[in-house]
Chains A and B, each alone.
Chain A
Amino acid sequence: MRNFNSPMGALAGAAMVIAGLSVAAPVHAQDAPYYEGKTLNLLVPFGPGGGTDVWARYLAEYLPEAIEGSPTVLVENRPGGGSITGVNHFAMQVEPDGETVLITSGSSIQPYLLEDPAVRYDLADWRPVAANPVGAIFYVHPSTGIESADDLGSASEELYYGGISATGNDLVMLLIFDLLDMNVQSIMGYDGKGPIRVAYERGEVNTDYQVTPAYTTSVEPLVAADQAVPIFTFGIIDANGDVVADEAFPDLPTVKDVYISIHGEEPSGQAWEAYKTFLAAGFGVQKIMWVKNDTPEQAVAALEEAIRQIAEDPEAIERGVEVLGGYPLLYGEDAAAAARSIVNADPEAAAYAMSFLEELGLR
């Protein structure tokens, strides 16, 4: 879309700017809304059609009206390097004028936390204006004999887990297996969560997790047909950085609850800190819209106000059920708090995760 729309949009934008200069010049600068006559680019470091792209396009639909000054809003896809290419581009080549904002998912955050040498960005240089959490549910096949979290240690057959990459969101699951002393054989290399669910249905693996929207549409029918048993949720990270119950599944225990019932004490230590950090990166703030720290306050305020309007617009909420996964769109202090657990992540938590992966022979 960029190839066609962007140059045209840029032209239109340029034309508007020129028109604005000649016509609106006598008006005081602070009277005009910051985004009037401008073009706002949503930089998506993934190809079109993926979850992050869809999230951006959903916002792009509401932003032109919600932002004061009604800018033209474009989605710009810059895929490559597992999203690192596009995020590096934002870090190195985008002016902090608020006219280009970055949309990330966990795939951009994990390499940052794991100190991938290709990463040329520092999240501390940016601030979030919008964030979107998502929940995840762990479930097993009835053939494992596991009926609830109490049976996790006494499965009647070997447990298999299918994942995509140990340094991606699957790291959270692997950390859980470790925290809960579960003996599971992990098979990495699947194409995506959809193919893994199919592998589950045909018995190639007998444990799996899915995020809330996919769980609701594809796993709940399996539960109804006695083909799956939900065991626990990953939990949600609250503003204080604690793991709390997932409001979408209040009846299921969280990883924290299960840990307490197994070990008889509150979780703590490096493993738990690592879990919280990567839970936040992969799920807690799965999607984030970033601006650079030096962005003019006027621009940030306009964006934050726009996100607030969208988050409270009943029509937008209704249409966004699938896109947002049934969780609220966070803005302002909530978004900042949600992102804090990854921006200020304890370096030791990441170091623990790295050595953990090395021990498993996965890194």
Chain B
Amino acid sequence: MLDALMQAFAGILTFGTLLPLLLGVVVGIVIGVLPGLGGVVGFSLLLPFVFNLEPSAAIAMLIGLAAVVPTSDTFPSVLMGIPGSSGSQATIMDGYPLARKGQGARALGAAFTASLMGGLIGALVLTAAIPIARPLILMFGSPELLMLAILGLTMVGILSAGNALRGVLAGIVGLMIGTIGAAPSDPEYRFTFDILYLYDGVPLIVVALGLFAIPEIVDLLASGRAIAPEKGGANMGQLMRGIREGFAHWRLVLRCSGIGVIIGAIPGLGGSVVDWISYSQAKATIPNNHFGEGDIRGVIAPESSNNAKEGGALLPTLLFGIPGSGSMAVLLGGMTLLGIQPGPSMVTTDLPITLTAIWSLAIANILGVVICIALAGVIARLCFVPFPMLAPAILLVVVFGAYQATRSWGDWVALVLLGILGWLMKRYGWSRPAILVGFVLAPITEQYFFISMSRYGLEWMLRPGVVIVGVLILALLVSGFLLSRKEKKGVA
């Protein structure tokens, strides 16, 4: 294995492989920076090149893209409070408050360091887990997946600590929006009102942009000021400070990367909740935190997990042909074009391809972070520009990004309606993350509940995996409750 690993490394260090890898990284960075455009759009830009490349070079290019999107999508999340892609929503929670205090560069520095370490940990775990991953993945049956979805839903309570009732209500609204469209287990359409746009449900990125981007743009325009009204010190100094903080919190990085890898590797849960889960568990377990008000740890937690997730997501993609995230689904398509069918052979005859993928993941993470840090100082200055000068461009990008979801005018209607909802929620102090988490988990929860019940009846509740996750849910809830009570006492 070690020998093969070195061989793959030598293979990737050739011009013919490094160049496509770099192309993937550059496209990935651009895609990540533009709000609303995620890995899927990037892949469709690169797919036409796939056919004419050597398989290893093509894999390097596609992985290079997937690896850096969760790095560069931090820019809009931190600097503008707009999710750069569906993987970095939680970064907004603390990254954006930091930017408003004039410390955007610091948040970026910490985020990129966390991304780098998370990405490398993801590649490392992937290497170690490849030989043993099959039985591990097979441990997760539908009942266990259902419990993990419920675990995700309990995050709603933690995210809205102090305002639990409103949080739960918002989560329910999210669940309801998530039920729009085709039912997961019945040939039945719900809440579609005969509008074809609603048949597939509202796209996640439109929900995210509507809830977060539109309200921010409206409020900033109304104030007429810059995102960061005051300067928080020299940008380069802040960037370095953030990088140091990223390394200083290595234990948090390690923990959140672990969460990212595991959730990424479990097929069927989807990558879009990884950042929320690691953010919420950090919030529930770190004493004396100021999460939500610009705590640097609130940036580090989601950023380390969303890069680590891609390493985990490669496992089910390569070993079973089931994509662990949206961009992995397109990677699978690219592999078919190359004549590579994922499956057990990825650890035997096709092992070189797998190892190339791992190396590409590691190298792309390093390249991506270097490029992003080089850009950070300049881009962070955008925060100090009066917003009305930025608004037309940002609005255009957001509207364009939303339209990429299905390319029908329904995307715009949904964006505006959700934007109004988001603005009202922001104004009156309702939890927008709770809506998002509910929305993302609605179809998964329903689907696995339906399958569990029709296959096992009520017996699914007694399965060991179900009990273990159940205990974990209780522990997190209790810990979150105790922490918030202690803090309230401390304040009083």
Q: A residues near B, CB below 8 A?
A: 1-5, 47-51, 53-54, 57-58, 60-61, 75, 77-82, 84-85, 88, 117-118, 160, 162, 165-167, 185, 187-192, 194-195, 197-199, 201-202, 204-205, 213-214, 216-218, 221, 319, 321-323, 357, 362-363
Contact = CB atoms under 8 A, between A and B. Distances in A.
A58 B199 contact: no
A118 B447 CA distance: 24
A119 to B, nearest CB: 10
Interface stretch (B180-188, B237-245, B289-297): B180-188
Given A49-B330, A165-B187, A221-B343, A85 B196 contact: yes
B329 interface: yes
A320 to B, nearest CB: 8
The secondary-structure label for the interface of chain B is helix
Contacts of A85: 196-197, 199, 406, 408
Contacts of A48: 40, 43-44, 47, 330, 333
B268 interface: yes
Nearest to A81: B199
Contacts of B454: 185, 187
Contact of B339 (A49, A117, A187, A319): A319
Given A48-B40, A218-B321, A80 B333 contact: no
Given A54-B336, A118-B199, A194-B321, A49 B186 contact: no
User: 8 shortest A-B CB distances, which residue pairs?
Assistant: A189-B185, A49-B333, A49-B330, A48-B44, A194-B322, A81-B199, A167-B187, A217-B341
Interface residues of B, number: 54
B187 A57 contact: no
Interface string B174-200: 000000001011110000001011011
Interface in B367-408: 404, 406-408
B352 interface: no
B196 A198 contact: no
23 contacts: A1-B44, A4-B45, A49-B330, A54-B333, A57-B48, A58-B337, A78-B407, A80-B200, A84-B196, A85-B406, A187-B454, A188-B186, A189-B184, A189-B450, A195-B267, A198-B138, A198-B267, A204-B142, A205-B455, A221-B343, A321-B339, A322-B341, A357-B187
A204 B344 contact: no
B9 interface: no
B470 to A, nearest CB: 19
Contacts of B339: 319, 321-323
A363 B187 contact: yes
B345 interface: yes
B1 interface: no
B341 A81 contact: no
Given A49-B331, A165-B187, 6 more contacts: A50-B333, A51-B336, A80-B200, A118-B196, A198-B267, A323-B336
B40 A49 contact: yes
Contact of B44 (A77, A204, A323, A363): A77
Interface in B27-53: 40-41, 43-45, 47-48, 51
B310 to A, nearest CB: 16
B337 A57 contact: yes
B222 to A, nearest CB: 31
Contact of B187 (A77, A166, A187): A166
Interface of B: 40-41, 43-45, 47-48, 51, 137-142, 182, 184-187, 194, 196-197, 199-200, 267-268, 316, 320-322, 329-334, 336-337, 339-345, 404, 406-408, 447, 450-451, 454-455
Contacts of B44: 1, 48-49, 77
A165 to B, nearest CB: 6
B489 to A, nearest CB: 46
Contacts of A191: 268, 322, 447
A48 B404 CA distance: 12
Contacts of A47: 40
A117 B193 CA distance: 12
Contacts of B330: 48-49
A336 B267 CA distance: 40
Given A195-B268, A322-B339, A80 B185 contact: no
Contacts of B341: 213-214, 216-218, 322
Contacts of B331: 49
A57 B196 contact: no
Contacts of A195: 267-268, 322
A57 B51 contact: yes
B321 A49 contact: no
B332 A49 contact: yes
Nearest to A167: B187
Contacts of A321: 339
A92 to B, nearest CB: 12
B416 to A, nearest CB: 19
Contacts of A166: 187
Contacts of A5: 48
Nearest to B342: A217
B138 A362 contact: no
Nearest to B144: A202
B138 A202 contact: yes
B451 A201 contact: no
A204 B455 contact: yes
Contact of A322 (B137, B340, B447, B455): B340
A360 B349 CA distance: 44
A165 B186 CA distance: 7
A274 B48 CA distance: 39
A55 to B, nearest CB: 9
Nearest to B334: A49
B346 to A, nearest CB: 10
A319 B338 CA distance: 8
Contact of A214 (B187, B321, B451): B321
B141 A82 contact: no
B344 A218 contact: yes
Given A57-B337, A218-B344, A221-B344, A80 B408 contact: yes
Contacts of B342: 217
Contacts of B343: 217-218, 221
Contacts of A57: 47-48, 51, 337
A5 B336 CA distance: 22
Contacts of A160: 455
Given A81-B199, A166-B187, A198 B320 contact: yes
A234 B71 CA distance: 47
Contact of B337 (A4, A189, A323): A323
Identify which of A2, A57, A323 gathers the most chain B CB atoms within 10 Å of its CB. A57
Nearest to A114: B187
A1 B332 contact: no
B138 A189 contact: no
Contacts of A77: 44
B55 to A, nearest CB: 11
Nearest to A171: B187
Contacts of A213: 341
Contacts of B182: 82
A199 B141 contact: yes
B312 to A, nearest CB: 16
A108 to B, nearest CB: 13
